[in-house]
Amino acid sequence: MSNTQPTPDRILQLTNGYWATGIIGAAASHSLFAHLESGADTAVLLAAEAGTSERGTQTLLNGLVGLGLVEVLDGKYRNAADTAAYLVEGTPTSLSDLAILKLGHMGELTELPQIVSAGGPVTEPTVEVADNPHWEKLVTAIAAMSTPVTAVAAELLHIADAGPISILDIGGGSGIYSATWLELNPAARSTQLDWAPVNAIARRLLADRGVADRFTCVDGDLHTVDFGAASYDVVVYSHIAHQEGPEDNAEIFAKVRDALAPAGTFVICDFVVDDDLSGPPFPLLFASEMLVKSKNGGTWRRGDYVAWLEKAGFGDITFHPTPSPATLILAR
């Protein structure tokens, strides 16, 4: 006879979910994943490499094994496959900086009960403050999340063979789309619209990649800057839709349609929710982050995007999965 009685195990793990944020953030702060990858495979060796206490290091290792991020066999530790791919510090796809950033965000959620009552931020919002220094910390940390997506989008758009195209990246952040695509296509040019200090960060990345001569920045607010008319072959809007409310997204999509050449493509990347609000889990959970940080943001349904895009005059709209929890939407 099978035991169908529910147990409290899952609820206890989730209720203590901040353990995961703390353990991963602390491990990343001490570059533990990189030391594991380099062969330090015991608490003693790791503590010596990281300059941490043996007790603290062993406790982190126990927690990481509990989370399934590190494996232990005969007293030797090693990164699990996804940890090796996405948490080893200093690699292009490493989310370790994001893990450290999230450690600092933990306290914000203690205000969630009041935020839910109020329907938005109860102290200063993050998104609506012009030129918020928050972005400078965020954009480099999330570049690793966008890196695999830029590759998927490049394939879908045949960027490498597209010739002398002109790209606009709205809220381009680290500049990761421009960097990847200008490297792939030596005839392409790209313009990034973002706040001035963020554009300075992007310029450094583009210079490091040797493509800064084909990269231009426009400093300013994406709500008020004129995107131009029929000027671009590709316009990118990556991880911006979730910070905006429905009206702003609809308004911006109409401006994008005007800014695109007639055969141009609008590329949206975001955490898209199923129309019946049943999933996927990451987009559903991420909405709470936007409730805390923005006045009108959220995670939007496929049907919301289709409605805004059709209203703006786009006809051919397709959705594409990516290696991240984000979905790519292409509209022409």
Least spacing, CB of residue 172 vs ligand SAM, in Å: 5
Among 64, 95, 101, 198, interactor with ligand SAM by CB under 6 A: 198
User: Which positions from 204 through 263 interact with ligand SAM, judged by CB under 6 A?
Assistant: 221-223, 238-240
Q: Residue 126 Cβ, how far from ligand SAM at the closest point, in Å?
A: 9
Identify which of residues 184 and 328 has a Cβ nearer to ligand SAM in the complex: 328
Q: Considering the rule CB under 6 A, would residue 135 count as an interface residue with ligand SAM?
A: yes
**Residue 242 Cα distances to 24, 250, 276, angstroms:** 25, 12, 18
Joined together, the tokens standing for residue 19 give 């353990």
Query: Using CA atoms, how far apart are residues 207 and 214, in angstroms rounded to an integer?
Result: 10
Q: Which DSSP symbol is given to 79?
A: E
Minimum CB distance to ligand SAM smaller for 23 or for 139: 139
Contacting residue, 33, 77, 181, 195, with ligand SAM by CB under 6 A: 195
Binding-site size for ligand SAM (CB under 6 A) equals 20
In the bound state with ligand SAM, the residue whose beta carbon lies nearer, of 61 and 252, is: 252
Which residues of the chain form beta strands (DSSP E)? 70-73, 76-79, 166-170, 189-194, 215-219, 232-238, 260-270, 317-321, 327-331
> Of the two residues 77 and 135, which places its CB atom closer to ligand SAM in the complex?
135
Nearest distance from C-beta of residue 221 to ligand SAM, angstroms? 4
298 φ/ψ angles, rounded to the nearest 5 degrees: 175, -175
Question: How many other C-beta atoms lie within 10 A of the C-beta of residue 140?
Answer: 20
Query: Per the structure block, which two tokens stand in for 82?
Result: 């996804």
The tokens 């791919």 sit on which residue? 85
Residue list 78-107, contact with ligand SAM (CB under 6 A): none
**Is residue 173 part of the contact set for ligand SAM (CB under 6 A)?**
yes
> Minimum distance from CB of 61 to ligand SAM (Å)?
32
Q: How far is the CB of 247 from ligand SAM (least distance, A)?
A: 15
Indicate which single residue of 31, 126, 140, 146 sits in contact with ligand SAM (rule: CB under 6 A).
146
DSSP3 helix / strand / coil % (the chain, rounded to 5): 50, 15, 35
Rounded alpha-carbon distances, angstroms, from residue 212 to 159, 179, 203: 18, 9, 7
Under the criterion CB under 6 A, does residue 171 sit at the interface with ligand SAM?
Answer: yes
Considering the rule CB under 6 A, would residue 194 count as an interface residue with ligand SAM?
Answer: yes
End-to-end Cα distance, the chain: 57
286 counts as binding ligand SAM under rule CB under 6 A = no
Total length of the chain: 332
Instruction: Return the number of the residue (195 or 305) whose C-beta is nearest ligand SAM.
Output: 195
User: Based on CB atoms, which residue is closest to ligand SAM, 37 or 169?
Assistant: 169
d(CA 187, CA 174): 21
Shortest Å, Cβ 101 to ligand SAM:
12
Q: Does residue 147 belong to the site contacting ligand SAM (CB under 6 A)?
A: no
- Alpha-carbon distance 126 to 169, whole Å? 21
Residue selected from 27, 142, 235, 331 as contacting ligand SAM according to rule CB under 6 A: 142
Q: Which is nearer to ligand SAM, 32 or 153 (CB)?
A: 153
Q: Is 299 in the site for ligand SAM (CB under 6 A)?
A: no
User: How far apart are alpha carbons 218 and 271 in whole angstroms?
Assistant: 26
> CA–CA separation, 38 vs 289, rounded Å?
35
Residues near ligand SAM (CB under 6 A) are: 135, 138-139, 142-143, 146, 171-174, 176, 194-195, 198, 221-223, 238-240
